[in-house]
Amino acid sequence: MYLLGYDIGSSSVKASLVDAVSGRTIASDFYPRTEAEIISLRPGWAEQRPEQWWDCLKQATASVMASSKIAPKDIKAIGISYQMHGLVMVDKELKPLRPAIIWCDSRGVPYGEKAFCDLGETQCLSHLLNSPGNFTATKLAWVKENEPETFERIYKIMLPGDYAAMRLTGHLCTTISGLSEMMLWDFKEGGPAAFLLDYLGFDADILPEIVPTFSIQGRVTAEAAADLGLAEGIPVAYRAGDQPNNALSLNVFNPGEVASTAGTSGVVYGVLGDVNYDPQSRVNTFAHVNHTPEQTRLGVLLCINGTGILNSWSKRVIAPEGISYPGMNDLAETAPIGAAGVSVIPFGNGAERVLRNKEIGCSIHGVNFLTHDRSHLLRAEQEGIVFSFMYGMEVMAEMGMKLSKIHAGHANMFLSPLFRNTLAGVSGATIELYDTDGSVGAAKGAGIGAGIYADNNEAFSSLEKIEVIEPVEADRRAYAEAYALWKERLNRNL
């Protein structure tokens, strides 16, 4: 008995086959081998062809089926994780009307800002828990104004994961969590956000049917089965955006539990048990995978743009030529906590939500030409990334979230002992590292949705904990002093 999980990313589509009984991943692969094309016709634009996702999904599926040699009939459920906030529009034949406008496209920003101003901050935050921002709804507002002929032909709008599920099942639907990331779910009214739909001039009929996140959402059609080499009738039983799904992959379901990633950008995602929001909208709040009308479970998302991208820049520009990432980490650790007074403000990858959408750039402070060297700069950049996490985590704490334990995958910057120890030291949180990824999490989510697992604890009972990092009490004061200096320097830039 096996479960199949897909992760529809902007760089690639990954597929994983999981043994439902042991929880072991038996095959995994991704396509394309190089990063998927992102179409950018103008600065700030980012589009992908939905058909490209399907082609990559086919190739990844063929690979895992060939390498695993399992019978298609033994796959009992399919789950889908996907890049959040994208806009896919289809006609009545369920064909895409244009390339999808994906998460990193910024053309919706002015529409979101105007809606926030016109409708009022209180109205938007109390109902949407966010400003309309640069999410799916405001991307659609751009289409309405700039491509009216396309807009008039829209039958339904959907997210990238909804598109993949539609191609698998022929059935078009989404979830409460999905509508919340579109910015089209009203948490106060418990339904689609009629006030924003009316303001933007959208008919509610363009929204897909709403289904539970964990449920039989459709079954693989004969056509899709022939296309993918799967068995007809396999249920699609779970879908979620990549950040809620990452939390699920780490078994983060309950209030106070926190998941984190630190790839190109960095994310801290914590679960809240009450409807709440940041009055300054510095973090985003969405319905978590297990949110229901009867049980409030919200995912509060902090995103820091300048994370792994700063670390890779430091490797290219600051570190000795030819050094590996582990070697760079070792060099950075030769400098003391606080990097002897050097601070790096890491916001050099665009406007930051946590800074109220200000774009202040990256800056380096406190360098003494006689006493500082590469090791201090390399330590300061990793500490600066961690301190930016802490800055946002303080916002999350203001919302009532307890941050005593952080779950993370054993990947990217969490491979750095310096990074992990700094995060534990400055936050006081215990960090638990696990061996998992988004496609594996989606497969296990499908197991929950199909009733193969009784609950998340059974689904993730085999989750492998690799390492636990506890704060070193003797170092807490040094980290606190370094963070205070970093924050003082940040505030001068704001």
Q: Which tens digits make up the pLDDT trace of 214-260?
A: 999 999 999 999 999 999 999 999 999 999 999 999 999 999 899 99
Res 270: pLDDT:
95
- The helix/strand/coil state of 151 is helix
pLDDT tops 90 at residue 43: no
Q: Which tens digits make up the pLDDT trace of 130-155?
A: 999 899 999 999 999 999 999 999 99
Res 349: pLDDT:
85
Structure tokens at 201: 């001039």
Res 234: pLDDT:
98
pLDDT band at 444 (very low <50, low <70, confident <90, very high): very high
What is the average per-residue pLDDT within 367-392? 98
Structure tokens at 443: 């497969």
| Percent of the chain predicted with pLDDT > 70 | 100
Res 489: pLDDT:
98
Q: Which tens digits make up the pLDDT trace of 385-394?
A: 999 999 999 9
Question: Per the confidence metrics, is the pTM higher than 0.85?
Answer: yes
Q: Which long-range contacts (CB under 8 A, 24 or more apart) does 228-234 make?
A: 228/57, 228/58, 228/61, 228/62, 228/168, 229/61, 229/62, 229/65, 229/72, 230/4, 230/61, 230/65, 230/72, 230/75, 231/72, 231/73, 231/75, 234/4, 234/72, 234/75, 234/76, 234/77, 234/78
Between the alpha carbon of residue 469 and those of residues 307, 336, 424, 472, the distances in Å are 20, 19, 7, 9
Please give the helix or strand (H or E) that residue 304 lies within, else none. strand 298-304
pLDDT band at 264 (very low <50, low <70, confident <90, very high): confident
Question: Mean pLDDT of all residues in the chain?
Answer: 96
pLDDT tops 90 at residue 170: yes
Res 359: pLDDT:
87
Between the alpha carbon of residue 246 and those of residues 48, 347, 395, 414, 456, the distances in Å are 22, 24, 21, 15, 14
Q: Which tens digits make up the pLDDT trace of 387-424?
A: 999 999 999 999 988 889 999 999 899 999 999 999 99
